Chains A and B, each alone.
Chain A
Amino acid sequence: MSVTPAAQPPPQQEPTTLAARFALYQRAGGVITPLLTTLLALFIAGLVVRFTTGASPLDTGRAILDGSGLTWFIPESVMDIRSVAGTYDDWPSEAEARLNAEINLQQTLIFTTTLILTGLAVAFAFRCGLFNIGGQGQFFVGAIVAVAVGAEVSGVGRVLHVPLVLLCAALAGAVWAGIAGILRATVGAHEVITTIMLNWIAYWIGSYLFSLGGPLQSDRSRQVPISNDVQESAKLHVFWGDFQGLHVGFFIAIAALVAFYLILNRTTLGYGVRAVGYNPEAARYGGISVSRNYFLAMAISGLFAGLAGAVDIMGWQYRYGQIDIQQSDIGFAGIAVALLGRNTSIGIFFSALLFGALLTGSNTRNLALPIEPELAGNMTLIVQGLVVLFVAADLVILYLWRFRKRLGLPRREPKAVGS
């Protein structure tokens, strides 16, 4: 600690907005807190496993790691799978294990792709001081439009069809989120409420469209509430793997991360969004329209979520149905991704990878043996919930800590004054 003669305790201003509070948190915690948050969440999830099934948390963790395919990066470790006692009756050959890891990794990255985009949808609004809970609905709208344009439009060729579907789905997401943005900007309706309502509207619109006899229901299997497959020309190229391999949507997500960074930090649009996010009153004083930025930030958020829906459809699902709508929660997972990733590009990449790995590694196929299937399927949800809880609690802890510091209270050693 360097002691300067300037007797100027750093001025402590109370952060007022969500974004400003988060910026403070980010500065105070750095990269350590997200890591600790993750470890703590995993640890508690391990305890849950221990006390509900009696299985060893370490074995479970190892099984999740293997199941996620991340071990593929370390070839020697692939065969360590045998060290997990009693996992398999017939040991797979080395080649089989390696192939298994490869397939798992592809699934992890497919999830990561979607999570990056839904995470960005939350993060962008967040930087404008808005809490976009509507990623799920915007994702639905994107997926529905992608199915419609991808399946019903034909004969345009891949070069046109793919960008057309992506564009339509992204715009649909933008419109969906933009509704909440306009409502916030004009009548002040809170975006948390309106986006949740829009989620349900999207949910039921989709359920209707894919229902038996509905406008988008399949021509071939009339008994199943599901859409037609998208045309071959609307499918994204799969560049790695034969069984549901990794598609080029992965690079679209990476490009979106870069775009997110550039828009926020290098454009006048991003300047306005951040200014409003940190201090709407100062932005207004500075001649920046707060309402306009609320709308734009929401619309751009929706753009990312709509893109997520399109990439999911075009990359590996190829069709969408009522069951998919009922089971999907990848839009909500974006909230945890954004929070854990601190609303930054790099952070979102890693937290999306973490949640992608958890989703793949903890699905019943990979975890069925060490622990019960019901619990296995919910492991991700447990970790996800804990992460959101901890990030929120961290803010509280940080506040208490700052409060102590502001009062100059010692940690626990009241020093004697005088002799």
Chain B
Amino acid sequence: MADARVDQAAPPVLELRGMTKRFPGVLANDRIDFDLRRGEVHALLGENGAGKSTLMNVLYGLYHPDEGEIRINGKSVAIGSPKEAIEHGIGMVHQHFMLVPVMTVTENIVLASEPRQGGIFLDYDSAAERVRKLSDSFNFAIDPDAKVESITVGQQQRVEILKALYRGADILILDEPTAVLTPQEADELFGILGTLQREGMSIIFITHKLREVLEIAERITVLRRGKKIETVPREGSTQDTLARLMVGREVLLRVDKTAAAPAEPLLTVENLSVVDERGLEAVRGVSFEVRAGEIVGLAGIDGNGQTELIDALTGLMAPENGRVRVGDRDVTTENAHQHLEHGVGHIPEDRQRRGLVLDFTLAENLALHDYRKSPNSYFGWLRPGRIVSAAKSLLKEFDVRGGGPQTRASSLSGGNQQKVVVAREVSRDPRVLIAAQPTRGLDVGAIEFVHRRLVEERDEGRAVLLISLEIDEILSLADRILVIYEGQIVAEYGPDVTEQALGIAMTGGTREGAAA
């Protein structure tokens, strides 16, 4: 699409030439060239660790480049700090918002650049007025006086964007902006970006999600392992071509699987209620079953009781009411150790907080559930030789790169850490596999691996419960889909439900509403 808004002839508003950034032992950016035209959305696409964030942090003055030149409007500039970046009209919205929750939207926006009366007192009213005007002109629908903690994540993101605009940015860097948003919020964000673009803003959009790139970017620059691979226009690009550029080989985006052949129920949940740490009923009378040989997807927006449900199903939290059975065994009141013993595998939501002991070696981590058992130990004595050799073959089977059995888990990349967790859970031959957000934060290659593995586990006759916040993941893997909303299962669908219907059910609309 030759976009009239983008002036092809004018010099780019931003040009990076030969940007190089080294970290000890790692070349994070290797002579990267990049340019941004006025009024365009330019996506920076790459797997985790490809060097996208590093490049943008260099541009924003957070890192100092080892080599390379930054040109803004054709002039060479040095950016030594975020403050200088802002002076050059660059604004950045980080993945994790930098907002003070107890302060109002206006206070957050004017923080560190407050308009003052007589040089001392904060002129709050005029600041709020400016924020309101700015917000209205872009249809942001933000109340300048609302406390940040009381508005939604999507709105908080808009506050971050407003903050950049307030400081006079005309180049906006968005670092993985949709990672925290629901599908509906992401659509709203894209609408806003369109408005900004029409106003002449130039936007750099960092992501590893292919669909988004094709939806909003005019041009796409692909990074892989610190190098720029190519800059391509949106026209003529498909998810498959982009994935190949990104990963460097053919990637199977569609999960290749046959129809499920469900057999006997292995996980049966009856009328389960769970009370969370604050004493609130987070799971309210949930009943479902997962059969051998099927993947049941549990879709829902974060914080609708998924975490508490998982904890209750794995013995990490005692349910208030109801029953959980694994096969014929009632495990409702059993602890985590007993669940593990009776055939429950659990890929936890947070691999760093829960799934791994980061200061342990990979071998020690792989033995986490079974270190007390033969052959890992013998009358209370560990047998490091056995533990290491078992680890060696698992690491090979699951293609874990970046370290051997004696490497500390903390030094692995996220994708490889997750492979270690998957290796441990799957290798124990569980009857029921509970996979909570198994691909969170992973790149395309690792996602492909985990997905394929989950389907294999299904085909071997395990009951797989997949809990995910990603609609795409649920749709491509699940044989049956349950939707959880405010602690209750509100809908059940077959595998061919539309994304639209699922999205509505996830936000509390009924099945009828979805059909309408």
**B49 near A282 (CB under 8 angstroms)?**
no
Within 8 A of A (CB), among B357-414: 357-360, 364, 367-369, 371-372, 377, 380-382, 384, 402, 410-414
A1-B24, A281-B354 as given contacts; A9 in contact with B54, CB under 8 Å? yes
Give the distance to chain A from B261, nearest Cβ to Cβ, in Å: 31
Known: A268-B372, A275-B368, A282-B353. A4 touches B69 (CB 8 A): no
Residues of A within 8 A of B371 (CB): 268, 271
User: With an 8 A cutoff between CB atoms, is A419 at the interface?
Assistant: yes
Q: Which of B78, B225, B352 contacts A418 (CB 8 A)?
A: B78
Let me know if A282 and B23 touch, CB within 8 A. no
State whether A6 and B225 are in contact (beta carbons under 8 Å apart), knowing that A267-B382, A278-B358, A278-B360 are contacts in the complex: yes
Asked whether, in the complex, the Cβ of B27 is within 8 Å of the Cβ of A278, the reply is: no
CB-CB contacts below 8 Å: A1-48 with B: 1-11, 13, 15-16, 19-20, 23-24
Q: Which of B23, B27, B28, B62 has the most CB of A within 10 A?
A: B23
CB-contact partner of A275 in B65, B357, B384, under 8 A: B357
Given contacts A9-B49, A414-B64, A417-B64, contact A284 B26 (CB under 8 A): no
- The answer to whether B381 touches A13 (Cβ under 8 A) is no
Chain B 325-361: CB-based contact to A (< 8 A → 1; otherwise 0): 0000000000111011100001010001111111110
- Which residues in B have their C-beta under 8 angstroms from that of A86? none
Tell me the complex Cα distance, A224–B57, Å.
73
A7 touches B357 (CB 8 A): no
Contact of B26 with A7 in the complex, beta carbons under 8 Å: yes
Known: A7-B225, A271-B382, A417-B64. A283 touches B357 (CB 8 A): yes
Which residues of B1-26 are within 8 A (CB) of A? 21-26
Contact of B64 with A409 in the complex, beta carbons under 8 Å: yes
The interface on chain A, measured as residues whose beta carbon lies within 8 A of the other chain's beta carbons, has a size of 48
Residue of A nearest to B376 (CB): A268
User: Which residues of chain A are near B66, meaning CB under 8 Å?
Assistant: 415
> Are B357 and A278 in contact, with the CB atoms below 8 A?
yes
- CB pair B27–A3 under 8 Å, yes or no, is yes
Determine if B340 and A287 form an interchain contact, defined as CB atoms under 8 angstroms apart.
Answer: yes
**Residue B174 interfacial (CB < 8 Å):** no
Judged by a CB distance under 8 angstroms, whether A317 is at the interface is no
Is the beta-carbon distance between A271 and B337 smaller than 8 angstroms? no
A contacts with B: majority SS: loop
Q: In the assembled complex, which residues on chain B have CB atoms less than 8 Å from the CB atom of A275? A: 357, 360, 368
Chain A min CB distance to B67 (Å): 9
Using A1-B25, A6-B26, A23-B359 as known contacts, say yes or no to A418 and B382 having CB atoms under 8 A apart: no
Instruction: Compute how far the CA of A408 lies from the CA of B23 in the bound complex, rounded to whole angstroms.
Output: 8
| Chain A residues closer than 8 Å to B335, beta-carbon distance | 287, 289
* Nearest CB of A to B491, in Å: 30
The answer to whether B381 touches A10, judged by C-beta atoms less than 8 angstroms apart, is no
Q: B266: shortest Cβ distance to chain A, in Å? A: 20
From residue B260, how far is it (CB to closest CB) to chain A in Å?
Answer: 29
Judge whether B151 is part of the interface by a CB distance below 8 angstroms.
Answer: no
Whether A11 and B21, one on each chain, are in contact in the complex, defined by CB atoms closer than 8 angstroms, is no
Q: Taking the complex as formed, is B79 at the interface, i.e. its CB lies under 8 A from any CB of chain A?
A: yes
Interface string of A388-419 (1 = CB under 8 A from B): 00000000000000000001111000111111
Chain A residues within an 8 Å CB radius of B355? 282, 285
Q: From B411, which residue of chain A is reached at the shortest CB distance?
A: A10
Min CB–CB distance B238 → chain A (angstroms): 25
Question: Cβ of A414: which chain B residues have Cβ within 8 Å of it?
Answer: 64, 80
Judge if B70 is at the interface, Cβ distance under 8 Å.
yes
Does A274 touch B at the CB level, under 8 Å?
A: yes
Neighbouring A residues of B64 by C-beta, 8 Å: 408-410, 414-415, 417
Tell whether, in the assembled complex, residue B26 and residue A9 are in contact, meaning their CB atoms are under 8 Å apart.
yes
* Residue of chain A at shortest CB distance from B80: A414
Report the separation of the CA atoms of residues A1 and B23 in the bound assembly, to the nearest whole angstrom.
10
Q: Report the separation of the CA atoms of residues A267 and B51 in the bound assembly, to the nearest whole angstrom.
A: 42
Closest beta carbon of chain A to B444's beta carbon, Å = 15
| A3-B27, A11-B413 known; A287-B360 Cβ under 8 A | no
Q: Contacts of A364 on B, CB cut-off 8 Å?
A: none
Q: Taking the complex as formed, is B226 at the interface, i.e. its CB lies under 8 A from any CB of chain A? A: yes
**Distance between Cα atoms of A270 and B414 in the complex (Å):** 27
A-side contacts of B62, CB under 8 Å: 407-408
Q: A8-B26, A10-B411, A419-B76 are in contact. Are A268 and B336 (CB under 8 A)?
A: no
**Complex: A242 Cα to B17 Cα, angstroms:** 80
Q: Which residues of A contact B107 (CB under 8 A)?
A: none
Docked CA distance A284–B77 (Å): 52
Query: Are A11 and B414 within 8 A (Cβ)?
Result: yes
Q: Does A269 contact B (CB under 8 A)?
A: yes
Q: Are B50 and A7 in contact (CB under 8 A)?
A: yes
User: What residues on A are CB-neighbors of B24 within 8 Å?
Assistant: 1
A50 vs B80: C-alpha distance when bound (angstroms): 46
Q: 8 smallest A-B Cβ distances: which pairs? A: A7-B226, A287-B337, A418-B69, A408-B63, A286-B368, A417-B78, A8-B49, A278-B359
- A interface residues, Cβ below 8 angstroms from B: 1-11, 13, 15-16, 19-20, 23-24, 265-271, 274-275, 278-279, 281-289, 407-410, 414-419
Known: A267-B380, A282-B353, A417-B80. 6 other contacts (CB 8 A): A11-B412, A267-B381, A274-B360, A278-B359, A408-B63, A414-B64
A to B CB contacts below 8 Å, 19 in the list: A1-B22, A1-B25, A6-B225, A6-B226, A7-B50, A8-B26, A8-B413, A9-B26, A11-B411, A15-B359, A266-B381, A271-B364, A282-B355, A284-B316, A284-B336, A408-B57, A417-B64, A417-B65, A418-B78
